[in-house]
Structure 1
């Protein structure tokens, strides 16, 4: 039985470490975050997102003492205000990939929902404990909350292997985006409320 609970600020160090390890070689972050101190930059970006978006404006769940993490924005999240707070820091952390990151985000914007939605901002399982069902377990509360609110759940993935995993959770591909600057193909996926 996996113990999943809502995160607190005390979970930040382990969650940031988990997400940094999970995203170290992820195609999107390899494309949009500078290569010097790459994992350190990802750790700081994920820590900002965890604290200033997830905890402050959304919902965050952890499992296995933070070795699995899911950060969601909700229909109540004022995303523009939330991201405005950390945007300059994220741009700085992207380093010499900042302009590429901006173009990549712009390529996805037309496919992002404008209606109320639960948006999976980030999810990761520490590589040391992958394959034990922690990813599914940490995602389920957000998926359930979206269904209870009768709104879709939405996510993006730049890993083709993730598409089948998310399909098993009820998500369907709504767009395939070729990210500019030789970026990774990114799948936008939505799960209707059931």
Structure 2
């Protein structure tokens, strides 16, 4: 029996964004929240472009890490992250189409002062189950721990709650969005 290969994590570059966005689009293809807020028409194309826009903003203002094969990605943004520019917001709204109003249905629990936001964590389906997500999350949290800041997130998949709990998060809120997905808010205290 062979030993599993250690997952190598590194900072993402602009050149990684297309592959990282594709990995996230694949990882979130059937995710309850993205199915709720991204129209079914051209869903995969819309989702990949949205992920690219969001990752570009996170890369400019926060932390984006990938594994060497860019099968997984994690992005965190600081509490003082500026809003995307008007052109980016206009494109985001266009891609969400008539579902853009659903974006406001999140926000299950207040975010602690000074908290970073875990904006996304995903691994392409072909790379899942090999420890990539856990390695990315641990590396990202280590960076925030250096700033002694809490981290907040929301997830719409009950399976993710256990993963985040293993990394020190606790659930601070839970809601079923009317006619939509379940949403769990979680926080990891400053370390």
**1:125 aligned residue (119, 123, 126):** 123
- C-alpha distance in structure 2 between counterparts of 1:13 and 1:186, whole Å: 28
SS of the equivalent of 1:82 reads coil
**1:153 aligned residue (151, 163, 176):** 151
Q: How does 1:1-194 map to 2 (within 5 A)?
A: 1-51=6-56, 53-78=57-82, 81-82=83-84, 86-99=88-101, 101-102=102-103, 105=104, 107-109=105-107, 111-113=109-111, 115-180=113-178, 182-194=179-191
CA-based RMSD: 1.6
**Residues 190 and 95 of structure 1: CA distance in aligned 2, closer, same or farther (over 3 Å):** same
Deviation at 1:177, TM superposition (A): 2.1
- C-alpha distance in structure 1 between counterparts of 2:149 and 2:156, whole Å: 24
SS of the equivalent of 2:24 reads helix
- C-alpha distance in structure 2 between counterparts of 1:178 and 1:84, whole Å: 31
Stretch moving more, 108-117 or 161-170: 108-117
TM-score (norm 1): 0.90
In the alignment, structure 1 segments of 5+ residues that lack a partner are none
Q: Deviations over 1:128-169 (max 9, x none)?
A: 010000001111122112222111111110001111111011
Query: Contact conserved, 1:175 with 1:188, CA < 8 A, in 2?
Result: yes
**Residues 83 and 115 of structure 1: CA distance in aligned 2, closer, same or farther (over 3 Å):** farther
Q: Deviations over 1:74-97 (max 9, x none)?
A: 13422xx23655222111101232
